[in-house]
Amino acid sequence: MGAHRYVVTGAAGFIGSHVVERLLGRGDTVTGLDNFDEFYDPRIKEANVAASLRSDRYRLIRGDIRDADLLDKLLREDQPDAIIHLAARAGVRPSIVDPMSYISVNIAGTGTLLQQAQRHGVEHLVLASSSSVYGATSTPPFSERESADRPSSPYAATKRANELAAYAHHHLYGTTVSCLRFFTVYGPRQRPEMAIHKFTRLIDAAQELPMFGDGSSLRDYTFIDDIVTGVIASADRPNGFRIYNLGTTDTVPLRRLIGLLAERLGRPALIRQLPEQGGDVPFTHADVSLARLELDYRPTTGIAQGLDAFVEWYRLTGGGLHTIDHQMRTNHLTKPAQTYVGNPMRKAG
């Protein structure tokens, strides 16, 4: 398969930066878009993209998916073969506190992207969705055939709304769209507020970690390399409108996860048990048979191996902070906030 041109939104985030690296590594040309939101320290995102910015096949645009003029300019210049849309306001619990920001970014932002994609004739879209769309009433293992019409949080509702909007887009314009329901992604560069990263930091610092509920909740944790493989496969294999689960088909109890991290860090976990939180679901469990059949998606990283890789990255980078410090000393951070950063002189076409 020859090289292609991609636009990747959320390109400086946890998943996005890994996707960009994989695309560049196989010879594709990529334009990334990210607004470097302050949901967490933007310097972490700057560290995420530092290596990719050395490529002359990559440029990074600092901007917002809700900016129709920016998207118009970007897509007119780049004329991508596909858009991989990963940008979103993330997190179940924060969405309960501030639902309007999730509606604005996730629904209005995705709507703006779909509109501009149609205007510029982009023929294939890959959209990040979430296992959270299944809510608390789905039957495991979760299948894409379920209606997923009872989300448990505003975040989940916005992701399901995006899937429906994507179907309407496909129906009206014939664009191929792959919606990917990610199941609890973890690995190097994981966002600092996510459970595995947060628990690792607290255990390592001998601080109490909050455990909501009795520790029996189950999650289908999916290593970042397996997720990226699924994302790339869906970009390479457009097939009408599709929704795919990307998980491992394995489930891990919360208390066992904490124990596995404590073992790897060589420290006890000081657990503070708290009541269950609204919006949380008791379990997630992916049925990946459709992704296996149509994308040849076969996750290979179990939880033990994945946590080994995460803890090794955490120790080497201080959870990304050492990388930031090194880049500040060597002046390798991206340029100050502006519309075009990275390789602004590279011409599209």
Q: What is the largest CA-CA distance in the chain?
A: 56
For residues 276 and 282, what is the distance between their CA atoms, to the nearest angstrom? 9
Q: What angle do CA 289, 177, 24 make, to 5 degrees?
A: 90
Which amino acid is it at 235? A
Catalytic residue among 6, 102, 134, 155: 155
DSSP-derived secondary structure letter, 138: P
For residues 190 and 279, what is the distance between their CA atoms, to the nearest angstrom? 21
Beta bridge partners of 127: 85, 179
Q: Identify whether 173 is a catalytic site residue.
A: no
CA-nearest of 286, 223, 226, 280 to 251 is 286
Q: To the nearest 10°, the Cα dihedral for 332, 190, 10, 183?
A: 160
DSSP-derived secondary structure letter, 140: S
Q: If you write DSSP's letter for every residue of 244-287 in order, what string do you get? A: EEES-S--EEHHHHHHHHHHHHTS--EEEEEPPPTT--SB--B-
Whole-angstrom CA distances from 111 to 2, 45, 107, 130, 246 are 30, 25, 6, 17, 23
For residues 51 and 320, what is the distance between their CA atoms, to the nearest angstrom? 13
For residues 272 and 258, what is the distance between their CA atoms, to the nearest angstrom? 12
For residues 242 and 149, what is the distance between their CA atoms, to the nearest angstrom? 17
Which amino acid is it at 328? M
Whole-angstrom CA distances from 136 to 107, 145, 162, 181, 345 are 22, 16, 20, 16, 49
Q: Which residues are catalytic?
A: 155
